[in-house]
Structure 1
Amino acid sequence: MRVINSPAEVIEISQRHTEPEPHVLDGMVDGAWLDAQHFPPLQWSVQGIVPEGFGLIVAPPKAGKSWFVAGIGLACATGGLALGKISVSRRPVLYMALEDGHRRLQGRFRQILGEGVPIPKDLHVIVKAQPLAVVAMISEFLDRHSDKAPLIILDTLGKVKPPKRAGEDAYTADYAIGTKLKDLVDAVSGSSLLVVHHTRKAESSDFVDAVSGTQGIAGSADFILVLARKRKSDDAVLAVTGRDVPENEYALTTSDGRWSLDGMDLTDAAATVESRQQKTALADRSMEILRFVSSRPETTAKDVEAEFTDINNNDAGTYLRRLHEAGHISKPRRGTYSPVSEPSEVSERYESAGHTDQGEPSVSDASHTSDTSLFAATEGIA
């Protein structure tokens, strides 16, 4: 027979018999309970772009993502217009610009805001942080402003991402980082955490695959923004997806560090993306026809129709006529076209852009096929 030796042991035994044992299904609820709940509506830092929760903004180096998030932060701290068109509510903003200094940020903010506009007091800036301290910093800021739906911008993830431990699975490590950040912002209703990250170098048809690292980072995020801009171009596309975000692509433009929607609103900016794509496709076809004409002594609309089976005789004639009007091909007689005596600048650029014998552009140089000098050869062609 076992002897009880102390009052503490008596209490322990008593609690053991009165407290129910934890059960693996203790967190389970039924449909009736769920149906009876009333949850607050989803809040947005930037309507249609940045919802509450943890999200990523990814782009290649020097694509302008730091200017992009700076503009978002300034708009939210001021309560003005984000991307020049989207009305936002004023809220506290923490901008952790860990790749910049105070002088650079001051110049950047002043350039975005415009001459004479003060930097808003509700924008708070941190430029130095140790990786292990970032979580505590974010948590403290959220606690201080928990009643005001704060926005936190972390630029960049690479500055605070801890190294993977020996033997640790890369996906598990990435997912743990993302989950930790998500847990912080989920604890404060209405708050958003936007983290700047880089894209991977590999090409992909799915823009979510552009997120650098394993799928652990992307998988832990509530939403993902992918900013795509070609070098030396003011035009860009912002692809948006997420658990609670309507998936779409929006046309943007940038000038002097200011990012703006290319359209009156999100719907208009989405339509602009489609319009740009159609122009690019038409310009690509013009270049293919230009190459075809340049490879032959003479070409007629009937020849083009036979070569490109998806083009009818009328459209073929329109392409040829406009290429001639732009000076890219000659017209020795009515209805007949031939190469110019000297290769046009566009033709030379087309040949040097890595096109194959079939006239198809290489993936890496596809941007060259949208040369604006060929848009004239595509207007009015459906």
Structure 2
Amino acid sequence: MIDQIIPLEEYERRRRNTPRFRRINTNDLMAKQFDPIRWIVPDYLPEGFSVLAGRQKLGKTWLALDVALAVATGGMAMGAIRVDVGDVLYLDLENGERRVQRRIETLYPDPRTRPDLSRLEFATETIPLDKGLIEALDDWRLSVPNPRLVVIDVLQRIKPPGRSTRNAYEQDYTAWSPLQRWATEHGIAVLGLHHTRKGGADDPLESLSGSNGLSACADTTLVLDRNGNGTTLYVRGRDVDEKESALDFSDGLWTLKGDASKLRVSGERQAVLDALLDAGEPMSPSDLAAILGLPNGTIRKRLFDMAKAGDIVREDRGRYRHPDTPSNISNVGNVPAKAHENQGLTVSGGGNIGGNVTDNAKGGNIDKSLNYNDFSINVTNVTKVTGD
């Protein structure tokens, strides 16, 4: 079939009415100058829309308040990271003014030493995203000299109702997109608090309550969790390197301890050292595996790595000891003098290497090795005596 030929004027008219991409040449793109990423908490919280998720009563609000206070005062976030000062809006939609006051008093009990907190403002009105929240945020942005951070505690309170024509993923992604666009456009961090589902997930981002639409829309996701290894803060995002950090929580204060994986390895090695020190003698991998409740293969690799690093000492027959525990040879002590059953040897000097041995046989000088309790003693300067 031959394509229909249309007049040039008609072609141009159709072309003007057809949606077109606004394209950019790669060379032009590479020549552009962009502002650097604006970090609210360096390496953890950049500009854009971020989600802080965790189980109930785990301390999410305390952590968000920690960050908000640090930014408002130009202090230290999580007791370890210096942040730039700026204006903060905290939308507390669950606790109310009285509880907020008590929490700040917990952190700063003495009014005389309390820093200036005027750059941190609170609001408790719930304005859904589809009922003017963006406009209200813009009003705050224009009213302060240096807007840096908005905290929304919790996101569920501002989520608009869904539509029956959309699935759960579409509902969540569509709901949070305006917030993400506003934060990105103005270089402000919006930190929304959210819950994780019961039972967790292999991937921390999949542990967020609801669909994956929220974590897909968010620029950064932070997951606060606690297990047998302690409390951790997992971070993943478009502008932040993936990391998992260990945290301590005490009296309302969060303290950053460092890389969780390194501390976890350190704790695992410390368990081996403690077990060896308690034993006071060399132990086999099987014995250590039973004490620590670990698979035999796991403990063997750990022992090999620790011995290679000089953390522990490998003894004979594949056993290991704590470096503060004396070796087997030095623990033998003085062996009581006794006659050797086969050679008629008597030992003086006990287990000390190089002790004097007398052989009740005829002849001149001989060299022998005497094994006593699996320890080898080199015997020299043996004196022959006459007799039957």
Same fold (TM over 0.5): yes
* Pairing 1:225-264 to 2, within 5 Å after superposition: 225-230=222-227, 235-262=230-257
Structure 2: stretches of 5+ with no match in the other structure: 1-11, 276-282, 291-295, 304-313, 326-331, 333-388
- Give, in angstroms, the shift of residue 278 of structure 1: 4.4
Residue 182 of structure 1 is aligned with which of 180, 183, 195? 180
- Residue by residue over 1:44-102, the C-alpha shift from the partner in whole angstroms, topping out at 9 and shown as x without a partner, is 11111110111101110000000000010011011111111111111110000101111
For 2:199 and 2:285, the matched residues in 1 are separated by: 41
Instruction: Work out the CA distance in 2 between the residues paired with 1:183 and 1:241.
Output: 19
Equivalent position of 1:72 in the other structure: 67
Residues in 1 aligned to 2:122 and 2:88: alpha-carbon distance in whole angstroms = 8
Pick which of 108-117 and 120-129 moved more.
108-117
TM-score where L is the length of structure 1: 0.66
Matches within 5 A, 1:1-382: 21-116=16-111, 117-118=114-115, 120-131=117-128, 132-145=131-144, 148-188=146-186, 190-230=187-227, 235-262=230-257, 269-270=258-259, 273-280=261-268, 283=271, 301=284, 304=287, 308-309=296-297, 310-311=299-300, 318=321
Structure showing greater Rg: 2
- Displacement of 1:136 in angstroms is 2.8
Q: Judge which range, 77-86 or 109-118, deviates more.
A: 109-118
Structure 1 contact 84–260 (Cα < 8 Å) conserved: yes
Report the residue type matching 1:157 in the other structure: L
Give the partner amino acid of 2:50: G
Q: Which amino acid aligns with 2:253?
A: R
User: Post-superposition shift, 1:305?
Assistant: 8.2
* 1:280 positional shift: 4.5
Does the Cα contact within 8 Å between 2:50 and 2:219 map onto a contact in 1? yes
How far residue 202 of structure 1 moved from its aligned partner, in angstroms, is 3.1
Which secondary structure does the structure 2 equivalent of 1:61 belong to? coil
Distance 2:319 2:134 in 1: 61
Pairwise CA distance, 1:127: 1.4
Letter in 1 for 2:83: V
What letter is aligned with 1:247? E
Q: CA deviation at 1:219?
A: 0.4
**Change in CA separation of 1:280 and 1:177 when aligned onto 2, cut-off 3 Å:** farther
CA-CA distance at 1:284 after TM superposition: 9.6
The Cα of 1:133 is off from its aligned counterpart by 3.9
Q: Which has the higher strand share?
A: 2
Asked if structure 2 preserves the Cα contact closer than 8 Å seen for 1:57 and 1:226, the reply is yes
Partner of 1:351: none
Query: Between Structure 1 and Structure 2, which shows a larger proportion of helix residues?
Result: 1
Compare relative contact order (CA 8 Å, sep 6+) and give the higher one, 1 or 2: 1
Cα shift at 1:19: 12
The answer for unaligned runs of 5 or more in structure 1 is: 1-16, 263-268, 288-299, 323-333, 335-382
Q: Secondary structure at the match of 2:23?
A: coil
Letter in 2 for 1:155: D
| Structure-2 separation of matches of 1:95 and 1:173 | 25
Q: Which amino acid is the alignment partner of residue 48 of structure 1?
A: D
Alpha-carbon contact 1:71-1:112 (below 8 Å) kept: no
Q: Does the CA-based 8 Å contact 2:66-2:254 persist in structure 1?
A: yes
Q: Is the partner of 1:150 in helix, strand or coil?
A: strand
State the distance in 1 between where 2:78 and 2:30 align. 38
1:149–1:192 Cα contact (<8 Å) kept = no
Supply the distance in 2 between the matched residues of 1:149 and 1:118 (Cα, whole angstroms). Answer: 19
Call closer, same or farther: CA 1:22–1:283 in 2, change over 3 Å. farther
Contact 1:237–1:273 (CA under 8 A) maintained in structure 2: no
Judged with a 3 Å threshold, the aligned counterparts in structure 2 of structure 1 residues 22 and 194 are, in CA distance, closer, same or farther, namely farther
Question: Does the C-alpha gap of structure 1 residues 181 and 281 become closer, same or farther in structure 2, counting only changes over 3 Å?
Answer: farther
Structure 1 residues 277 and 211: CA distance shift in structure 2, 3 A: farther
The root-mean-square deviation of aligned C-alpha atoms, in Å, is 3.3
Q: Say whether the 8 Å CA contact 1:43–1:51 is kept in structure 2.
A: yes
- How many residues align? The count is 286
Rounded to whole Å, the distance in 2 between the matches of 1:303 and 1:65 is: 42
For residues 139 and 128 of structure 1, what CA distance do their matches in structure 2 show?
Answer: 15
CA distance in 2, matches of 1:239, 1:169: 28
> Partner amino acid for 1:243?
R
**Alpha-carbon distance in structure 1 between the residues aligned to 2:255 and 2:69:** 14
